[in-house]
Structure 1
Amino acid sequence: MSTSNHHLNNRPTAANLENPLYYLENMETVVAWVANHHADLLSASENAQLSAFFELPRPARALLTRMVMRSGDLFRADKLNYPELGSPECDALKKLVVEVWLDAAPLLTLDDLFRLYTLVELRPAFAPILMQAGCAKNLAKAQMRKVLQNTFGDARSVVDWLGGCGAPVVRVNSMALFDRVRLMFFGNLRQSWSDFVLVELGHHRYEQVQFTSEARAFSERSQVDTYLAMNDCRECLDAGMLAAEVWAQVPQPSDNPWLTSRRDRLLLELGRQAERQGERKLALEALAASGHREARLKQLRLLERMKRFDEAWAIAANWPHAELSDAEAQGLARILKRLAAKVKQPAPLALQRPPLREFTLTLPQTGRSVERVVRDHLSSPDAPVFYMENTLINSLFGLLCWNTIFKPIPGAFFHPFHSGPADLLREDFVSRRQAAFDQCFATLHDGGYRRQILDSYATKQGITNPFVTWPALNDALLTLALDCIPALDLHILFKRLLLNIREHRSGFPDLVRFYPEKSPPELCYEMIEVKGPGDRLQDHQVRWLQFFASQGIAASVCYLRWQTGEATP
C-alpha cells in the first residue's frame, strides 16, 4: 500500500499545529495506523479504498478529511470554504467525485433539504403548494416543513426539489468505512475525529506500548461488526426507541472479554431504559444478563419495587461482600435491612464504624485556601506537612505498578497516544492483570517496591499515567513518603484503590504530615482532611476516613474556624 510520505513501520507522531494542514497529517496517521495494524480486519475493497486515499492529491485528501470530521454525510458545495487547501475547493470536489469518494447527485429527504437550505431558498420552490394549501406567505420554516411532511415522503435530488436554483449537494460515500477506521483506532465510537485530528498530541508524552496482533481488541472482522451493532443499539436507546425493540437487536454474547464488557454496559443501560418505559420484566432480564458491577444492585432494587422480596433476598443474602466497594457494600446493607423485615429473616448486624478523629483550629484569615492555611500552621521542620489531596497515594501506586498499567493486553491500547489503558475503569481491569499486580504487591513484602518506585520516577519522568500527577512530585517528597509510609500501609491502600478505581481514586484527605525522625511502631505519618466554615465531609471522604480508622492508619478531620472579627469566606 502506498502511503505517500507516511512510514507505517515507524512510530507515528502528531502533526505540528503551525502546519495549516495539520488535521490532514493527523488523519493520515490514523488511516496509516489502521491500514498497518488492522488490514486483516478490513475487506479487500476497504483496504483498496484506504490505499486510494493516499493516492489522492493533497487538496482532495484535505477536503475529504474536513467533511469526514464534520457531522453528517451531506454537504453543500458552496459552504465548503477552506483556504488552506492551496487550490480551489471546486477542483478538489471534482477529483473526489471522479474517484467516487463523493456522490454528486445524492437523494435528499425533506428533513435533509430543510437542514441544508435556508427559508429564503426554500420558499420559491414550495410557494405554489403552500398557496394551494391556504398557508400564509410568511410561514416559518418549521411550520412549512410540518405542512409539507405528509406530501413529500420520498427522497429526491436537489434538482428535483429546487430546480436549477439550489446549490449543489454532495454526499460522502465512505463514511461507514471512516467510522470503522475510527473505531479500530480509538477503540470506541464515543470519541469524534476532533478528539485526535484537531488536537496537538505532541503536547503530551505517551508510554511506548508494544503493539502486537495478540494485544489487539479485535482479532477478527466479525468482532468489529459486533461492536458496531452494539453501538447502533446504544444510539437507538439514546434516541428513545423502545427497549423491547432494541433488545431484539442486541448481539449474542462473545468470547471476547473486551466485547463482553461493552455488552454488559449496553445491557445495563437497556435495563434502565426498560424500567423507565414500564417494561419491568424485560428490565430484570437485561440486568440479570449484564455482568456490569452496577447491574446487580439495580436488579435487587427493581425486585424490591416489584415486591418480589424472596427472590431479592436470595440474591442479596448470598452476595460475596469481598467483591464490593464501600459504596456498594453500603447500598447492599440498606437493601438487606429492608428485605429482612419483608421475608421475616433476622436483619444483618449493622457494621460498626469506628469513630473519626476530629479537631478544630481557630486561625486568622489570610486570603489563602483553608487547606494551605492549615498546612502552613501545622507544618514544622521536624514534621513537614504537604497539600497532596488525591495525588500522593495514587502516584505511588502508578509508579509501583507502571508496567502492569501499561501491559499490552487485548482492548487496553489501540494507538500510540493513550494516557492510560482504555479498560482502566472496566470491571475486569484488575482480574485480567491479576498475576502482574500480584508481582507488584509482592515487592511491598520483599522490600523491592522502593527501588521499583524510584526507578519509574527516574525513567518515566513526564510520561502521562492516569495515576501519576507529575507536578505534585519531587525527589525530596518521594523519599520522605517512602521513608515514612510503611509498606504494609501501601499494600492496604493500593488494594482498596484497585477494588473500585473509579470510586476510590478520589476522597483522600487534603494534607499529609510526616514525622521523619520517628520509627515504627511510632507514628511516622498521618493524613488530615480540612473543612472550612460551612463545609462538610462528602460520602466518599467519609468512607476513606472510616477505612483508615478500621485499618489503624492515622487520619483525622480538621475543622477550621476563623478568629472572631474575621470575615467568613
Structure 2
Amino acid sequence: ISILGRPVNRTVGMKSRFYGYDGCSCTVEELALQHYAKEEYGQWVGVHSENGIWNTLFGILMWDVLFADVPDVFRTPFQTAPLDLDTDAFYPARRDLIEVHLLAIQEGNAQDMIAHCWAEREGTLCRGVNWERHSLSELQVIAACIGGDGLAAVCRLLAEDHVAWSGGMPDLLLWRERKLAPEKGEGTLPGNANGGNAHGSHAPDYDAKFGKGNGEEGVSPTQRNRERDITLREAKLVEVKGPRDRLSEQQMAWIDALVSAGLDVEVCKVVESIEDADVSN
C-alpha cells in the first residue's frame, strides 16, 4: 500500500520525516502506525520494533532451550545466552528439546508458556529479552494474535540460524482483537484462533503441563478459554519505506519466509506526491 504524507524535509541523505495525523513531525514508521490505527484502516494496535519484540518472544518461549544443560556453552554465571547461539551448533545440540517447544507453540500453548516463564524468570537478563517494553498480558495477546503456526515458524528460523535471521524483520508488528457474534451453537472462533545455570535448565514436559487429552483433564486454561472465545485475533507485519528507500535482500528473505508461514505481510510506501503511487488516504 501507499500513504500520501506531507514531508517535513526532502533532503537527500537525511531520514525522511513527515507531518503526522496529529500535525507533529514523525518518522515514516510512526506515520504508518497512525495510519493503521485509524478506524477506516483497521484500528490496529502496533509497535515499531523490527526484530525487538520477536527476540523477546523467542527468548521467553525458548528459555529452557537457551539455558539447557549443554556442555561448554556457559563459562560464567553472568552470561545472558549460550556461547553457541550464533553458530550452526546451536540447533543440533538441542534438537529434541527445540522440537518439543516448537510443537507446544504450534499447538496453541504460547500464552501459557509466556506466563510460566514470566512467573519464574521475570527480570532475569537474557539476550534479546526486554522485560519492560511490554506487559505480560500484552505479550500474551500479541502471541495469540500471531497464532501458533506463525509464531512457531519464526522461532524455528531463529533457532536454526540465529545469526542469519537476527535482523531484517518488518518494521511494524500490528495486532487487533475483534469481538464476534457467534452463530447459535458455536463457541469456537474462525480463522486465526490463538494459536544448569542461574537461569534454570530443566526441560518442561509440555504434554503433561498443558495437555493433549480429551475433556477437561489435561487441557490447558488457554485451551478451555479458547473453546468459549468469541474474539477474532489477527496480526499483520508491515515493512515501511520512505520515498527513496528500497527493500534489502534480508528484508525480502524475511517477507518470503513470513508469507510462507501464513502470516499477513505488507510493504507500506510513504510517498510525497500522489503521482508517485496509488495512495490509500
TM-score by length of 2: 0.67
Match of 1:373 among 21, 26, 31: 31
Taking only the aligned residue pairs, the percentage that are identical comes to 25
Say whether the 8 Å CA contact 2:175–2:235 is kept in structure 1.
yes
Shift of the 520–490 alpha-carbon distance from structure 1 to 2, 3 Å rule, reads farther
From 540, 557, 561, the equivalent of 2:267 is 557
Report the alpha carbon displacement of residue 455 of structure 1 after superposing the two structures with TM: 1.9
Query: For residue 521 of structure 1, what is the amino acid of its counterpart?
Result: G
After the TM superposition, which residues 187-226 of structure 1 pair with which residues of structure 2 at under 5 Å, given as runs?
Answer: none
Preserved contact between residue 3 and residue 269 of structure 2 (Cα < 8 Å): yes
Partner of 1:168: none
CA contact (8 A) 2:114 2:140 kept: no
Counterpart secondary structure, 1:465? coil
CA separation in 2, counterparts of 1:419 and 1:526? 30
| Per-residue deviation, 1:446 | 4.4
Q: CA shift at 1:420, angstroms? A: 0.8
Q: Distance in 1 between matches of 2:26 and 2:137?
A: 25
Per-residue Cα deviation, 1:510-564 (whole angstroms, up to 9, x for no partner): 1112121165426711100001121111111010111222333110110112358
Larger Rg, first or second structure (1 or 2):
1
2:239–2:268 contact (8 Å) kept in structure 1: yes
1:361 and 2:31 are equivalent in the alignment: no
**Alignment partner of 1:405 is 2:115:** no
- How far the C-alpha of 1:469 sits from its partner, in A, is 2.5
Question: 1:207 aligns to what?
Answer: none
Residue ranges of structure 2 left out of the alignment (5+ in a row)? 7-17, 20-24, 180-188, 193-232, 275-281
Paired residues of 1:391 and 1:472 also in contact (CA < 8 A): no
**Matched letter for residue 4 of structure 2:** T
User: Judging changes above 3 Å, is the alpha-carbon distance between structure 1 residues 395 and 524 closer, same or farther for their aligned structure 2 residues?
Assistant: same
Higher relative CO (Cα under 8 Å, sequence separation at least 6) belongs to 2
- Once the two structures are superposed, residues 438-467 of structure 1 have per-residue CA deviations (whole angstroms, 9 ceiling, x without a partner) of 221231244433211122123322222123
Aligned to 1:540: 250
Q: 1:39-94: per-residue Cα shift (whole Å, max 9, x none)?
A: xxxxxxxxxxxxxxxxxxxxxxxxxxxxxxxxxxxxxxxxxxxxxxxxxxxxxxxx
Q: Which has the higher helix share?
A: 1
* Aligned Cα root-mean-square deviation (Å): 2.1
- Distance, in Å, in 1 between the alignment partners of 2:137 and 2:110 is 17
Whole-Å Cα distance in 1 between the matches of residues 236 and 95 of structure 2? 30
Aligned to 2:153: 492
CA distance in 2, matches of 1:457, 1:520: 29
Q: Distance in 2 between matches of 1:509 and 1:479?
A: 20
Matching residue of 2:76: 415
Shift of 1:432: 0.6
Specify the code of the residue in structure 1 equivalent to 2:257.
F
8 Å Cα contact 1:525-1:554 kept in structure 2? yes
Q: Deviations over 1:217-244 (max 9, x none)?
A: xxxxxxxxxxxxxxxxxxxxxxxxxxxx
Alpha-carbon contact 1:388-1:511 (below 8 Å) kept:
yes
Structure 1 segments of 4 or more deviating over 6 A?
none
Q: Shift of the alpha carbon at 1:380?
A: 4.3
Structure 1: distance between partners of 2:29 and 2:119: 30
CA distance change for structure 1 residues 414 and 536 in 2, over 3 Å: closer, same or farther?
Answer: same
Amino acid at match of 1:363: G
CA distance in 2, matches of 1:383, 1:445: 24
SS at match of 2:250: helix
> What amino acid sits opposite 2:191 in the alignment?
P
Equivalences for residues 48-127 of structure 1 within 5 A: none
Q: What is the CA distance between 1:498 and its match in structure 2?
A: 2.1
Preserved contact between residue 173 and residue 235 of structure 2 (Cα < 8 Å): yes
Deviation per CA, 1:282-329: give whole Å up to 9, x if none: xxxxxxxxxxxxxxxxxxxxxxxxxxxxxxxxxxxxxxxxxxxxxxxx
How far off is 1:476 after superposition?
Answer: 4.1
Give the distance between the partners of 1:562 and 1:474, measured in 2 at CA. Answer: 37
| Aligned equivalent of 2:141, options 441, 455, 480 | 480
CA distance 1:421–1:438, change in 2 (3 Å): same
Residues 501, 375 of structure 1: CA spacing in aligned structure 2 closer, same or farther, 3 A cutoff? same
TM-aligned CA distance change 1:410 to 1:444, over 3 Å: same
Q: CA deviation at 1:506?
A: 1.2
Within a 5 Å distance, the mapping from 1:482-521 to structure 2 comes to: 482-517=143-178, 519-521=189-191
1:440–1:449 Cα contact (<8 Å) kept:
no
* Alpha carbons 2:111, 2:140 under 8 Å: kept: no
Normalised TM-score (structure 1): 0.34
Gaps of at least 5 residues in structure 1 are 1-358, 565-569
